[in-house]
Amino acid sequence: MGRRDVAVGFLYHVASDQVLLHLRDDDAPPNPGRWAFFGGRCEPEDGGDLLATWLREMREELGVTLDPARVESLRSGTYADGTRWHDFYCEWPSPDEDFVLTEGQRYAWFKLDEALALPDLADYAREDLHIFRDLLRKC
């Protein structure tokens, strides 16, 4: 199988300054048993569009349909092997919504600073949340 690009991201509730994170299964590579973002690998139906990948993953993992016009790019890049990656976020109207989790152990809302203090937060997610917090401070 060839390279499969990756798209991940999180939901953000502005009024409460909370992010929605995903506790991965203990046997799920990468980042087993760690808090991370929702997302995954590109599938043929995504047509190589990493936003389409993340939108599909959010439908599959949480049962939500996001408006692509409201999704924001946080950062992106390419690994040494040519695999592209893209990290997104989207504002969400309410932290009280019940989602239908189909992968992982659970999900939870965290204040941004609480999320950054999690000892079992995936390294990439910690880096992204620092970038996100810096973006918010500039606004």
> Which structure tokens are listed for 110?
């965290």
Q: Are strands 84-91 and 106-111 parallel, antiparallel or unpaired?
A: unpaired
pTM of the full structure = 0.95
Q: How far apart are CA 133 and CA 79, in angstroms?
A: 24
Split the chain (139 residues) into runs of 10 and give each run's mean pLDDT: 84 98 94 97 96 98 97 97 97 95 97 98 98 94
- Write down all domains in the chain, each with its CATH number in brackets: 6-138 (3.90.79.10)
Residues paired with residue 6 on neighbouring β-strands, in sequence order: 41, 85
At residue 62, φ and ψ (nearest 5 deg) are -125, -10
At residue 45, φ and ψ (nearest 5 deg) are -70, -15
